[in-house]
Amino acid sequence: CDMPMKPNAIIWGALLSGCRLVKETRLAERVLKELIALEPWNAGNYVQLSNIYSVSGRWDEAAEVRETMNKKGMKKIPGFSWIELEGTVHEFLADDKSHPLSDNIYAKLEDLGNEMRLMGFVPTTECVMFDVEEEEKETVLGYHSEKLAVAFGLISTVDGEVIR
């Protein structure tokens, strides 16, 4: 397939994400090499390959990628999520309990999770750390920064109000 331009890190990153969806580990390994050449400092690319190995059931390779990151002193920078309410920006990290309303935020997430499970929702936990129990994997997914921000928005606004 010919492209009108040379692929950059964004294009390679999108392809790497696609590899996870179809569990294409061989192509993912090649894509990671291209990404390392462009962004040798980007730990997120290594994490993505580790996740691809995990969803493919290749736990040893996933662990090797994480070990490589450790040897290189690489750590994935945690993602933040923000929400603005009444002119104030509120920032959240995954599993963050520093917000003054964190008890209410976590209670809202618990309620939403229970409601979703009653409707038949089952979270996809394949690429969450492979050395923890399934219940703990669901907990990790349940308190992601975006979910905390949305839950805060839900408890801090009236029904029908737009959350951004």
Q: Average of pLDDT values for 102-123?
A: 91
So what's the pLDDT on residue 138? Answer: 46
Residue 110 lies in a domain: yes
Lowest mean pLDDT across 85-94, 119-128, 154-163: 119-128
Where is the domain boundary, 25, 53, 71?
A: 71
What residues make up the domain containing 31?
9-71
C-alpha 128/C-alpha 54 separation (Å) is 8
Where is the domain boundary, 26, 53, 71?
A: 71
So what's the pLDDT on residue 143? Answer: 76
Clarify whether residues 46 and 88 are in a common domain.
no
So what's the pLDDT on residue 95? Answer: 81
| Residue 37 confidence (pLDDT) above 90 | yes
Q: What three-state secondary structure class fits 82?
A: strand
As a whole number, the mean pLDDT across the chain is: 86
So what's the pLDDT on residue 162? Answer: 81
146's CB contacts (< 8 A; 6+ apart) are: 81, 92
Q: Average of pLDDT values for 61-73?
A: 94
In the block, tokens 């392809």 appear at 15
Clarify whether residues 60 and 99 are in a common domain.
no
The total of structural domains in the chain comes to: 2
The reply to whether the predicted model has a pTM over 0.85 is no
Angle 76-163-48 from CA coordinates, rounded to 5°: 20
Clarify whether residues 146 and 85 are in a common domain.
yes
Q: Are 45 and 39 in contact (CB under 8 A)?
A: yes
Residue 3 lies in a domain: no
So what's the pLDDT on residue 161? Answer: 83
Q: Strands, DSSP E only, in the chain?
A: 80-85, 88-93
So what's the pLDDT on residue 1? Answer: 56
Clarify whether residues 60 and 85 are in a common domain.
no
So what's the pLDDT on residue 53? Answer: 92
Clarify whether residues 88 and 148 are in a common domain.
yes
Clarify whether residues 16 and 36 are in a common domain.
yes
Clarify whether residues 59 and 121 are in a common domain.
no
In this prediction, residue 137 has a pLDDT band, given cuts at 50, 70 and 90, of very low
Residue 89 lies in a domain: yes
Residue 162 lies in a domain: no
